[in-house]
């Protein structure tokens, strides 16, 4: 009878010792940037204050704010936020999580890309010059064809020698 009691006591002691370790592991804060592309980014976090209002700010490498979003964490202390934002010309993106009304960050994460997204083409539309070139090529071809046909009809080209047959 003493062995089952000792086993139960041992299991109880291990459960009491393991409880703080489990709560410490769940208190670890995580903030990640994923699905980073030229048209958007996904920010996800865990281990944050539970059901608390937070502000997620996306910044560039110079810490200039690109977009700011107030969120509320879930009862487990996590969130996921997908935003569509142009990242053209940027080599690094940083996400900063702060409590609402506070300036001290709870967590931040930065992601660098090997090459920046291409800049948005804001120049003139190229379809009009191409259409003009195509139309002028058609007109020039028509004029050349007309000129060659006219020269053939009036006999300006060499027509060869005609020898009389006997």
CATH for 103: 2.60.40.150
Measured in degrees and rounded to the nearest 5, phi and psi for residue 113 equal -105, 150
In a domain, 56, yes or no: yes
In a domain, 4, yes or no: no
In a domain, 137, yes or no: yes
My answer on whether 77 and 133 are in the same domain is: no
- Decide if pLDDT at 25 tops 50: no
Paired strand residues for 58: 67, 95
Paired strand residues for 65: 59
The answer to whether the predicted template modeling score (pTM) of the entire model surpasses 0.75 is no
In a domain, 120, yes or no: no
Locate all alpha helices (DSSP H) within the chain, ordered by sequence.
Answer: 2-26, 127-154
Task: Give the residue numbers spanning the domain of 140.
Answer: 126-155
My answer on whether 107 and 140 are in the same domain is: no
Q: In what order do the strands lie in the sheet with 30-37?
A: 30-37, 40-46, 79-84
Q: What percent of the chain has pLDDT over 90?
A: 32
Domains identified in the chain, total number: 2
Under the banding of pLDDT at 50, 70 and 90, the label for residue 157 is low
Provide CB contacts within 8 A for 17, sequence distance 6+. none
- Decide if pLDDT at 17 tops 80: no
Name the residue with higher pLDDT: 109 or 38: 109
| Length of the chain in terms of residues written | 166
In a domain, 53, yes or no: yes
Name the residue with higher pLDDT: 70 or 11: 70
Measured in degrees and rounded to the nearest 5, phi and psi for residue 6 equal -65, -40
Long-range contact pairs involving 58-67 (C-beta distance under 8 Å, separation at least 24): 58/83, 58/85, 58/93, 58/94, 58/95, 59/93, 59/94, 59/95, 59/96, 60/90, 60/92, 60/93, 60/94, 61/90, 61/91, 61/92, 61/94, 63/94, 66/93
pLDDT digits (tens, 9 = 90+) for 47-105: 998 999 999 999 988 889 999 999 999 999 999 999 998 888 888 899 999 998 888 89
């Amino acid at each position: 009878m003493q062995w089952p009691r000792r086993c139960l006591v041992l299991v109880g002691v291990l459960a009491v010792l393991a409880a703080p370790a489990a709560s410490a592991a769940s208190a670890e804060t995580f903030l990640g940037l994923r699905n980073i592309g030229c048209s958007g980014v996904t920010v996800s976090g865990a281990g944050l204050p539970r059901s608390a209002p937070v502000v997620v700010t996306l910044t560039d490498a110079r810490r200039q704010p690109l977009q700011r979003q107030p969120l509320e964490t879930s009862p487990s202390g996590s969130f996921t936020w997908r935003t569509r934002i142009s990242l053209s010309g940027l080599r690094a993106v940083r996400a900063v999580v702060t409590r609402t009304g506070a300036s001290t960050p709870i967590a931040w994460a930065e992601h660098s890309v090997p090459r920046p997204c291409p800049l948005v083409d804001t120049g003139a539309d190229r379809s009009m010059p191409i259409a003009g070139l195509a139309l002028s090529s058609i007109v020039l071809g028509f004029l050349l064809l007309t000129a060659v046909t006219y020269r053939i009809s009036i006999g300006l080209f060499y027509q060869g020698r005609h020898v009389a047959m006997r």
